[in-house]
Amino acid sequence: MNISEAAKISGLTAATLRYYESEGLIPPVTRKNGGVRDYQKDDLGWIDFIKCMRSAGMSVESLIEYTTLFRNGEQSDEARKNILIRERDQLIAKQKEISETIERLNGKIKSFEGNLKASEDSLPH
């Protein structure tokens, strides 16, 4: 499929797909005659992976490192696994921080609700 079709399926722009490829975020896309990109199912899988990792906060640099290692074949399995472990651990820490913040906000909201109830109870009926 061409870049327009891949963009539509992935929910990204053609410019973003070109950027992903030029920066090494995804492996090079095969080309048809005349240099037209010909996206395959595997390419869409990579795009989906990159979208997921970026939305989770993984840095472009880490993704480039991961993709570069992937091109080196199976001998890079351990290094790629370590990147994923590092990113997962960072997400777990961020998740803990977010959970703690949510709990703190819940406490603040409850205190407002309590104050609102008290002030409403003092109003004439």
Q: Rounded to two decimals, what is the model's pTM?
A: 0.72
pLDDT in the model for residue 56: 87
Q: Identify the band that residue 119 occupies on the pLDDT scale cut at 50, 70 and 90.
A: low
DSSP H or E run through 21: helix 14-22
d(CA 113, CA 103): 15
Q: How far is CA 32 from the centre of its chain?
A: 30
Q: Can you give the pLDDT at residue 120?
A: 65
Residue 89 reports pLDDT greater than 70: yes
Taking only the tens place, the pLDDT of each residue in 1-40 is: 999 999 999 999 999 999 999 998 888 999 998 889 999 9
Cα→Cα distances 95→50, 53, 54, 58, 109, Å: 20, 15, 16, 14, 21
